[in-house]
């Protein structure tokens, strides 16, 4: 493996984590992720091919990226995605390979993904009620997601369940979700509702993680888990439980201080911050024959403009932030 210069921003933060969106398409229509009217899908020619994704990941690994997470849209709707997992897992220097999914196909795919070299999976599930699932996702499939989580655990994948908490919608299920960790060795992560284009975000729909954490600690004997640098979640062990719970305070508390993330959209645009516009067209550069060093230079230029921290909530609402489905979770 050729070793290039590590990707660092002007604040000395080393970026060794790349999130790669395989597609902007999804087979659910979750309220907080996609506008009710839908989005304009990218044309096929605009989307990176699987071979191009592999090429770009190799460049990033050569420049210090050690963790890659595949996202969407919904990555499992991308034909050939398990084969891509196998190829990426074989890249020398890549230490962790994860997947974020809605879990609809995971019951069928989990064992193949593990065999292909996947290390971990994050499954989005915002309710334990089938009826409420249909209200939130605007599609059926609740039982398939639960079956997918079970299959992921049984296959040996490190498994997390991501729960976006919406005030007055599903916050009454917090303790029920903690109950999942009693017998399953999963980490249930409660995520604050974030503002994106078309998701009707309002401050009063956000329940701060501190409040959720307090609810959990009142109901269960807990112990804090040591937090590693660049972790976005703080975690609690629950006495007698096989799993853990985590809290992602993306709105109430900034975790930007040790941010190590880059995002590659499905159409090959590089985002250095979830809440900033893309700042680097890697797709066009790659298709024009750019060398690995040139591609890394584009990424470095993006990092040279990265902010120390994301804007506050009032500013977010004024920004033209893409729907989450088009960014990649």
Whether residue 84 is predicted with pLDDT greater than 70 in this model: the reply is yes
Residue 324: exposure state from Cβ atoms within 10 A (0-12, 13-18, ≥19): buried
Can you tell me the distance from the alpha carbon of 170 to that of 176, in angstroms, rounded to the nearest whole number? 11
Of 310, 282, 279, 305, give the one whose Cα is nearest residue 295.
282
Per-residue pLDDT at 207: 87
The residues near 103 (Cβ < 8 Å, ≥ 6 apart) are: 123, 124, 125, 144, 145, 148, 149, 152
Q: How confident is the model at residue 326 (pLDDT cuts 50, 70, 90)?
A: very low
Cβ atoms of 125 and 170 closer than 8 Å: no
Above 50 in pLDDT, residue 323? no
Q: Report the CATH number that the domain containing residue 224 is assigned in CATH.
A: 3.20.20.70
* 182-188 mean pLDDT: 97
Could you tell me the two tokens for 283? 């797709």
Report helix, strand or coil for 206: coil
Quote the number of domains for the chain.
1
Give the pLDDT of residue 119: 99
Phi, psi of 47 (to 5 degrees): -80, 140
CA distance 94 to 240: 34
109 Cβ contact partners less than 8 Å away, ≥ 6 residues apart: 76, 82
Inside any domain, residue 5:
no
Please tell me whether the overall predicted TM-score, pTM, comes out greater than 0.95 for this model.
no
Q: Check whether 36 has a pLDDT greater than 90.
A: no
**DSSP class of 272:** S
Picking from 320, 295, 265, the residue whose alpha carbon sits closest to that of residue 48 is 265
23-28 mean pLDDT = 89
Q: Report the 10 Å Cβ neighbour count for 308.
A: 12
Average pLDDT over residues 249-273: 86
Q: Which residues contact 84 (CB under 8 A, 6 or more apart)?
A: 22, 50, 53, 54, 70, 78
In a domain, 8, yes or no: no
pLDDT tens digit sequence for 98-151: 999 999 999 999 999 999 999 999 999 999 999 999 989 989 899 999 999 999
Q: Within a domain: residue 32?
A: yes
Q: Assess if residue 4 is contained within a domain.
A: no
Rounded to the nearest 10 degrees, the angle between the axes of helix 106-116 and helix 81-89 is 30
CA-derived radius of gyration, the chain = 19
Classify residue 1: in a domain, yes or no.
no
Q: Which domain holds residue 149?
A: 17-327
Torsion of CA 142, 144, 118, 251, to 10 degrees: 0
Q: Is residue 3 situated within a structural domain? A: no
Model confidence at 90, in pLDDT bands (50, 70, 90)?
very high
- Please check whether residue 79 lies inside any domain of the structure: yes
Which residues are paired to 100 by β-bridges?
A: 122
Residue 253 exposed, middle or buried by CB count within 10 Å (0-12, 13-18, 19+): middle
Residue 81 lies in a domain: yes
Instruction: Find where tokens 């932030």 sit.
Output: 321
224-249 confidence digits (pLDDT tens): 998 876 677 889 999 999 999 999 88
């Amino acid at each position: 493996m050729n070793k290039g210069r590590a990707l660092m921003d002007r604040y000395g933060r080393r970026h060794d984590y790349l999130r790669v969106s395989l597609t902007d398409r999804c087979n659910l229509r979750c309220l907080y992720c996609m506008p009710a009217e839908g989005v304009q899908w990218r044309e096929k020619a605009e989307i990176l091919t699987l071979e191009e994704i592999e090429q770009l990941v190799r460049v990033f690994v050569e420049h210090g990226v050690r963790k890659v997470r595949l996202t969407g849209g919904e990555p499992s709707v991308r034909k050939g995605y398990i084969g891509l997992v196998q190829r990426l897992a074989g890249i020398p220097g890549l230490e962790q390979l994860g997947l974020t999914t809605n879990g609809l196909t995971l019951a069928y795919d989990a064992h193949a993904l593990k065999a292909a070299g996947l290390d971990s999976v994050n499954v989005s599930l915002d309710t334990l009620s089938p009826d409420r699932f249909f209200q939130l996702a605007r599609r059926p499939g609740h039982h398939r997601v639960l079956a997918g989580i079970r299959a992921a655990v049984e296959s040996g994948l490190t498994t997390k369940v991501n729960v976006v908490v919406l005030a007055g919608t599903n916050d009454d299920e917090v303790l029920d979700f903690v109950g999942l960790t009693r017998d399953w060795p999963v980490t249930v992560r409660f995520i604050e509702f974030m503002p994106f284009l078309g998701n009707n975000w309002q401050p009063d729909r956000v329940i701060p993680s501190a409040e959720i954490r307090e609810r959990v600690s009142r109901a269960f004997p807990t112990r804090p888990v040591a937090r590693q640098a660049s972790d976005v979640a703080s975690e609690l062990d629950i006495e007698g439980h096989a799993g853990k719970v985590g809290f992602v305070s993306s709105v109430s508390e900034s975790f930007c201080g040790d941010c190590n993330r880059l995002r590659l959209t499905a159409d090959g645009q590089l985002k250095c911050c979830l809440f900033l516009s893309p700042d680097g067209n890697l797709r066009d550069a790659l298709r024009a024959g750019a060398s690995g060093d040139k591609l890394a230079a584009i990424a470095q230029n993006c990092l040279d403009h990265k902010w120390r921290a994301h804007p506050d909530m009032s500013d977010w609402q004024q920004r033209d932030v893409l729907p989450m489905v088009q960014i990649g979770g």
